[in-house]
Amino acid sequence: MLHDLFSPSVQHGLDLAGIFVFAISGALLAVRKNFDVFGIAVLAEVTALGGGLFRDLMIGAVPPAAFTDLGYFVTPLFAAALVFFLHPQVERINRAVNTFDAAGLGLFCVTGTTKAYEYGLGLTSSAALGLATAVGGGVLRDVLANEVPSLLRWDRDLYAVPAMVGAGIVVLCIRYDALNTFTMGTAVITAFVLRLLAMRYHWRAPRAWNRRSHAQEETA
């Protein structure tokens, strides 16, 4: 399905771009945690490839693309090296990095959903794996860095919800035989814009109704 909408070179380039920006976010967290060069590389790799690895293993696409395409494996290492030597400069353009990260989120939730559907999963399962593709690497990153995953924290801007919306648009288009380049692009842009708006206006998911906990927001 994806190869019918995009040429292999375009699809590969989009994948590498998403992998690169996710790897940057993982490497930056490693620097903030005072990890050594190996830790920076590991967090970059896990953040960039974790979601796709999980998806491929779940749908039986083995060996996963991360191990059959050298570019997928090397790109996070390049991002890790960039952050290792230039992390003060990268930190200064953190807003731009977050923007690209939002673009990667939108792209991966769509490509993950369509790939899962291509391998025979139902619409709901495909959307779930699309979400996992988009946010799985970030979850693994936070766990390895000994942090509560960002998408589970009430004091973080919406992250999973935009990916859920993007994946939902894809499965609706599949259901009504309307999936094409335009509708896939619409799904990517919708998830991307929702994530940007969440960061701009600090949109957060509601907590439990009538909750009695008075836990305070964690300090950075």
- pLDDT, tens digit, for every residue of 86-134? 888 877 777 777 888 898 899 999 999 999 999 999 999 999 999 999 9
Could you tell me if 79 and 23 are in contact, meaning their C-beta atoms sit under 8 angstroms apart? yes
User: Cis omega (within 30 of 0) on the bond before 63?
Assistant: yes
Residue 14 to residue 12: CA distance in whole angstroms: 5
Q: What is the pLDDT of residues 156-189, one digit of tens each?
A: 899 999 999 999 999 999 999 999 989 999 999 9
Cα distance between residue 205 and residue 12, in whole Å: 33
The token pair at 118 is: 């291509």
The verdict on residue 208 lying in a domain is no
Residue 211 lies in a domain: no
Q: Using the predicted structure, report yes or no on whether residue 27 has a pLDDT greater than 80.
A: yes
For residue 33, being part of any structural domain is answered with yes
Q: What are phi and psi of 23, to 5 degrees?
A: -65, -35
Average pLDDT for the chain? 89
Q: Is residue 125 part of a domain?
A: yes
Q: Is residue 9 part of a domain?
A: yes
The residue segments making up the domain with residue 166 are: 2-201
pLDDT at residue 10 tops 80 = no
Is there a domain that residue 214 lies in?
Answer: no
- So what's the pLDDT on residue 150? 86
CA 25 to chain centre: 10
pLDDT digits (tens, 9 = 90+) for 28-75: 889 989 999 999 999 999 999 999 999 999 999 999 988 999 999 999
Asked if 191 contacts 163 with a C-beta cutoff of 8 angstroms, the reply is yes
Instruction: Determine, yes or no, domain membership for 218.
Output: no
Total number of domains constituting the chain: 1
CA dihedral 21, 57, 146, 213 (to 10 degrees): 100
What pLDDT band is residue 219 in, cutting at 50, 70 and 90?
very low
Q: How does pLDDT run across 187-205, given as a tens digit for each residue?
A: 999 999 999 999 999 999 8
Q: Is the pTM of this model over 0.95?
A: no
- Asked if the structure places residue 134 within a domain, the reply is yes
CB neighbour burial string for 127-159, b if at least 16 within 10 angstroms, e if fewer: bbbbbbbbbbbbbbbbebbeeebbbebeebbbb
Among 165, 174, 190, 200, residue whose Cα is nearest residue 95: 200
